[in-house]
Amino acid sequence: MLGSGLVARPLVQYLLEKTDAPLVVASNDRQRALELIAEHPRAQAVELDVEADQPLLRRWVEKSAVVVSLLPYVHHPTAARICVEKGVSLVTTSYVSPAMHALHDQAVARGVLLLNEVGLDPGIDHMSAMKTIRAVQEQGGRVLAFESYCGGLPAPEAADNPFRYKFSWSPRGVLLAGRNTARYLRQGRVIEIPAQALFKNPWLKNVVGIGDLEVYPNRDALSYQRLYGLEQAHTVFRGTLRYPGWCETMALFTAAGLLDDSVRPDSARKSWRQMWIEKYELANDASDSRLAAALQVSPAGRLFQNLQWLGLFSSAPVGADSLLDGLTQAMQSKMAYRPGERDMVVLQHDFQVQFGDRTPRRTSARLIDYGVPFGDSSMSRTVGLPAAVAAKWIWLKRIRLTGVRIPIEPEIYLPILNELHRMGIRIVETDGNE
């Protein structure tokens, strides 16, 4: 396993409990890797920087039956190329990148499976959607509309900061996702959303048992229309869920350039206040009212106060070489889960289906899962466990597909969903809007 971050522990525990295979946890933070394996006799921790020490990575891959990468997505192609070279299959929880996709033919030729998007979103969302879609189609029906919504959030009692959000996975990854363009199909019309407008027009969705949550589009939903077999659908949408108010603040971050990861060598030493003063050419003694006016918000309003709460108008240093990384650090320090707090995962698919010439009807599939106080987060379980089950099934040679894949074939998703169900991660299907 490559990586030792926030979602790694359930994966490590599962593989050590449910297989008798030796497990190597390789990380640039060996201490964290040691904590994950907890002196298990079949596990070892090694220090490894994937990009800086590729010869060492090659040696470990060559000794392996399966590699699981929980590294940031930019490092997956490096691991994947070496896996293909050594004839070893790879599992990741990240979206398929162009660099990963380009390895498909080589992977097929080498008999290697590069299985991606096997986490929560992407992952459980694909698998649960395909289970319903295939069941409808096998009964002679058609899916006319498919809408998928997913969010990792604090449980309601833990949503106690101005953002009503806390980080259960990579903070930088959360912010980088805010720079994606989006595309979806609504009533036969293709809607394209540029990155700078991603957070400008959210809407509310009521989730049973939770209440109203805010929705904004998630990446390119149309890329899954063919993969899911939804060519006859007039609506195909994938969205992200947050508590109301998130999008308004993220729109301000976008407009103010805080999601910019361009390296600025002098940024780390500057204070946040000085950064704004220079950006908007203000006087050194500019008032809060003047700063707010430059940002086009009210100094007494929630948006300005949210940034103030993060310390973004203070004399504290940016502390990083880019504004994105400085913002990541500021949010991480103020928006971490406290001991005993629960996170929550909400996933809902809404379908409109039709059988023959009968009236179309609606059906839903919903997962609401909570973290364990003082134990594993829901995010770590719902991301890590699907990847762990996939790795086990590949190791047992029960998945024999090759090439670059996502979990949309029954050979992959049925055993994973069945095992997740046994572990308490359950998708509940309902008719209508109940």
Q: In whole angstroms, what is the distance from residue 78 CA to residue 82 CA?
A: 7
Tally Cβ neighbours within 10 Å of residue 285: 7
On the CB side of 64, CA atoms within 13 Å amount to 32
| Residue tagged active-site, from 20, 29, 53, 121 | 121
SS3 for 40? coil
CA-to-CA separations, 361 to 55, 94, 139, 174, 427, in angstroms, rounded: 56, 33, 15, 35, 19
CA 415 to chain centre: 22
Active site residue 160: no
Computed on alpha carbons and rounded to an integer, the radius of gyration of the chain in Å comes to: 23
Contact 202, 216 (CB under 8 A): yes
Pairing between strand 113-115 and 89-92?
parallel
| Helical spans, DSSP H, in 102-191 | 104-110, 124-138, 171-177
As a 3-state breakdown, the chain gives helix, strand, coil percent values, each rounded to 5, of 40, 25, 40
Phi/psi-derived region of residue 356, left when phi > 0, alpha when psi is between -120 and 50, beta in every other case: left
Strands 113-115 and 403-405 come out as: parallel
Kind of pairing between the strands at 343-355 and 428-431: unpaired
Alpha helices, DSSP H, located in 95-123: 98-101, 104-110
Decide: residue 296, CB within 10 A, 0-12 exposed, 13-18 middle, 19+ buried: exposed
Round to the nearest angstrom and report the end-to-end CA distance of the chain. 41
Are residues 89 and 112 in contact, defined by beta-carbon separation less than 8 angstroms? yes
DSSP structure string for 390-406 = HHHHHHTT-----EEE-
Helices and strands (H and E) in the chain: how many: 16, 15
Q: Are 381 and 171 in contact (CB under 8 A)?
A: no
Write out the catalytic residue numbers. 121
